[in-house]
Amino acid sequence: MLANIGVPGLILVVIIALIIFGPSKLSEIGKAFGITLKEFKNASSIMMKEGF
């Protein structure tokens, strides 16, 4: 589903997020999302190594 958004859709989502949250809150949300994604990636790689 996300693969069908494209660049114009992504730009629209970012603009709407800027309007709703504001630039300062948006950077905090992006940082939290990045940390969450990094932890998920690490956990999934550990699970793949252990054979789950």
Domain assignment present for 7 = no
Domain assignment present for 49 = yes
Domain assignment present for 10 = no
**Residue 8: both structure tokens together:** 């114009």
Domain assignment present for 40 = yes
**For the whole prediction, is pTM greater than 0.85?**
no
Domain assignment present for 50 = yes
Count how many domains the chain has.
1
Domain assignment present for 16 = no
Arithmetic mean of pLDDT, 25-51:
89
Structural domain boundaries, residue 33: 23-52
Domain assignment present for 11 = no
Question: What are the pLDDT digits (tens) for 7-37?
Answer: 888 889 888 988 988 888 888 888 998 999 9
**Residue 50: both structure tokens together:** 């252990």
In single-letter form, the type of residue at position 41 comes to K
Domain assignment present for 9 = no
